Amino acid sequence: MSQRNTLVRSMHDLGLAAWFGGNLMGAVGLNGAAAKARDPEERTRLSSVGWARWAPVNAAAIGVHLLGGVGLIAGNATRLARQQEGRANTAVKTLLTVAAMATTAYSGALGRKVDALSEEGGEGATEPSPTASSDLASAQKQLQLLQWVTPALTGALLVLGAQQGEQQRPLAGLVRGR
């Protein structure tokens, strides 16, 4: 029997695409552009303003992705019960999703700290100045790494989602029910 999960699959994929793309654009575009500001204080402030504007959209994207993911698991429960490869993929995706949510939340907390200390300025959005306080320097150094970790995790989720799509293709020689 053919079963379509277009709505939840779309929620899952669009939410994840926004999460991945927004974070990658923020690391490359927003932080990169803010680093070009002439005033060191503006470098940290502008980056903080941009990330704060993105945060509600990112939270909505994550929520839509999660709702879609739960819907897909429910809609594919029978297949997952029979297909060990599908269960393994779902388990890995779940772990990566939790990790990406953790890095996203921690990045947000660090970003709020950078924003609170933005008057100290920086060499860039995630690069501390030589005169930065240890609090600001620590937050910026951690963000320098995390700005790439979240897109890497969500990118891996995109790949695993594509793999799951391949797992759902009918096997050659099997009769498809309609």
Residues contacting 92, CB < 8 A, separation 6+: 160
Burial of 36 (0-12, 13-18, 19+ CB in 10 A): exposed
Nearest by Cα to 41 from 121, 126, 131 = 121
Say if 177 falls within a structural domain: no
Where would I find the H helices in the chain? 6-25, 31-34, 40-75, 77-82, 84-116, 134-167
pTM of the shown model = 0.89
In the chain, the number of structural domains is 1
* The pLDDT of residue 169 is above 80: no
Would you state the pLDDT for residue 1? 40
Instruction: Over range 112-137, report the average pLDDT.
Output: 95
Would you state the pLDDT for residue 83? 86
Say if 175 falls within a structural domain: no
Say if 172 falls within a structural domain: no
Say if 126 falls within a structural domain: yes
Say if 73 falls within a structural domain: yes
Domain span at residue 126 reads 6-167
* The pLDDT of residue 168 is above 80: no
Say if 176 falls within a structural domain: no
Say if 173 falls within a structural domain: no
